[in-house]
A = this chain, B = another copy of it.
Amino acid sequence: MEINGVEIIDTYAEAFGIKVSRLLVTAATKELALTATTEATGYATSVIGCPAEAGIDVYLPPTETPDGRPGYVIMICQGSKKKLSHELLERIGMGILTAPTTAVFNALENPDELLNEGFKLKFFGDGYEKELEIAGRKVHSIPIMSGEFLVESEFGIKDGVAGGNFFVGGDSKMSALIGAQAAVDAISNVPGTITPFPGGVVASGSKVGCNSYTFLNASTNEKMCVGLKNEIEGSEISAAVNGIYEIVIDGVDETSVKKAMYEGIKAATSVPGVIEINAGNFGGNLGAYKINLKDLF
């Protein structure tokens, strides 16, 4: 199958269940909202080694937020509810409460359940905190040195999808890189999804386990390493492909992840030198979701 003249390999992305939260962070200006959300979603590419997976979902202009200020929606994801609760508390408390002029609202529709991290944060107010209602939401106003911090009392969580993915194959490394960046640009407008890796792009797709060092649970995917293409037996890289970058997507549900994959792949194929789209899976036995690339189109 071809899209824009780019070969779509007949394979599937294998994705996993994860618990997701979705927050709206508003601030006095768009730039200040970006500063806070960048801090709060850092160090969060993969739960393999990071305490969470997190990223910026979409920007909302003042007309679409409860307090009429510009804001970014972010997602914070974790495999366990207990760890997600911890991450929510600390990423809000250390990364957003500490940032100039911010407020935080729940932005997850149809949650499976609610976590009361806003309620927990109010104690930072040492008795000077107050309870407000903003646009029908229960919000805690916590006095801080620079003014007040507003945080909704409860945040929804739900079972979402992690590890939706595709590989952008290029005729050179930099073709694949800009193709991947174009994909991230497109996905950034798909609500309910994030691309948690640095700048949305993964440079180092891995395989499960490790052949040479048995103490490792994950290691480089040598059969997809462009630098080893001609050095090892069994390389799975197409003859014309000299560059590969991966996009990994987390979403609130499978539909959102599929939409992000669709938009991302279409965008990648518009970049000169992108010649093939592939996807990563682990034989189909590890993840709860199999997303066939061909079914997206």
Contacts and interface: CB of A to CB of B under 8 A. Distances in A.
A17 interface: no
Nearest to A205: B145
B62 A51 contact: no
Contacts of A93: 49
A199 interface: yes
Nearest to A142: B220
Contacts of A228: 128, 143
Protomer copies: 4
A149 interface: yes
Query: What size tier do the contact residues of chain A reach?
Result: 35 or more
Contacts of A90: 43, 49-50
Nearest to A168: B146
A39 interface: yes
A30 interface: yes
Contacts of A201: 99-100
A68 B222 contact: no
A125 B211 CA distance: 10
Contacts of A172: 170-172, 174-175, 272-273
